[in-house]
Structure 1
Amino acid sequence: MAVKSRIDAWTLLRVLVVPCLFLCAIFKRPIFQWIACAALFVWVCFVISKLFRSHRKHCKKMPAEQKVFPAKQETKPLTETPQEADDDTRLSLLRQVNYRIMEQLKQSYPTVAWLWEARPSSEEISKGCTKRIKLYHCDPFNFGEVTLSATGKLEIALVQMVPLAEAELQPHNDEDLEEQDILDRSDVKQWYTQKGIALLSALIDELNVQGHKRLTIKENGDVFVTASGKQQPVDTIPDFPPRPAWEDLCVLAREDDIAAEVCNQELTVSWA
């Protein structure tokens, strides 16, 4: 094993300088004085060089020690856009309100069904609002006032409204379809994949909670449910495919376990 020997400054002082000083003290000759001065000079140079080398090593270590490596930031992939998150939140809030309304109504009217006259927005639900609902199989009441408070309290007031005169329902005359409104099979499949399945699923979920088991869709996209023997409007589906494309639309819906069939001038969707 190789052993590295290092000369210490004090060892050099004892070995080189001190003996020279003793010689000067014993033999008082000029030559010994010059030898002592030379030994002292060598010792001083050795100490200075050693200090200089240690200072250089210290300066080289400083930048390496002070270098700071920034922490690697973890980036989380975006799974959904802010718009999609807002839509999910709004739909979740509305479903919770629907379940609470249905739960309260069924305590007194087990066969009740109802519809919103105007659905509340997520801002209205969080701040508190009063909305009207239509009631079916809830005689003698036909309307209800739903009051939502900012603290989450929900109250329902049942109302019986009797019109002064019954107005006759006029048959709805649909305009003939224009040539640009006729969709081919690829257009129907694209519409159903991008919009149709999501809109139908949302309508079925909401109406099922409200006690309905069937809906009909007109050629202009208007959605109706049958209550008390009459068709009641629910919503409107934008860009709904025209009548010639309904057969293809029914095939696509059945692939997603949605029962759909064409009845005269209406598309009927039912669920268990």
Structure 2
Amino acid sequence: MTLFFRKYLFLLALPLVLASCNDDDESSLPVPPNHPCRLVTLKLQRDNGDTVIINNYSYLASGRLSRINKYNHNTEELETFRVLAYNNAGLPKTITTYIGHTLFPGNHAVEGYNTYSYNPQGLKTITRHFINLSGQQNFVHDIDYTYEYNAEKQVVKQTQQELSSYYTYEYDLHGNVTRADRFETDLQTNAFVLKYYTKYEYDNNPSLYSALFRHFWEHPEELSPNNATRITNYNPDGTIRENQDFNFTFTYNTKGYPTSRSYAASGTGYYYPKVFFEYECK
């Protein structure tokens, strides 16, 4: 699965309610970075104009993301949501996902949760996933992501322990991820080999992802400060992977944040053709 596809699914899957700060009163947490706009609604549409996904985003008084609600686009009923809890330093501690069932509308069970660990400098070191296999609150450890940093505090390596794979990252002067290489274990030699790599091109406008998630991320490309206008996935020999060259077009509000995104690809792709973003801006 490509890096931006993971990021895209991550954004769409985040359903929110109201989050809590278990370790501390919200008023005592450090104030997060100030952004002129914050995302409140995301809508995905097909080519014919049908809306298929609606997400709403809620925030604490400090401006931290607290909950994401995903609604049924036909009935407008709440389908799934995620709740965030923060530690004393104001960093995400847990994120819990509640999922409904079409046969039992209104009932939401815990599907799983993530936990986060940090080093003394406040840099994330581990993202740990737990999933509810039986539906009876039987949570099983699923996968860990671990991170290594350079002197600029940028992630240069992300390892997926259970999958015996890792990514390496390169950045431009603005802090955007420009290339990500995925390495996997060769079953014959038991050595890591390059599986594919991804290159990114960007606009000069602020990215809604870095403003929305801040520390709430799993993959470093989510922190790129600008919006990706082209994402291309390559085979190890340098040829473009089939149907995986994506070109994005944005419209922006007066603050420079994207209000819509459409894309053209070299064939069928991973993305909905139209995405619309609504904000609250100062």
TM-score (norm 1): 0.26
TM-score (norm 2): 0.26
Q: Greater share of helix residues, 1 or 2?
A: 1
Which structure has the bigger radius of gyration? 1
Q: Relative contact order: is structure 1 or structure 2 higher (C-alpha 8 Å, sep ≥ 6)?
A: 2
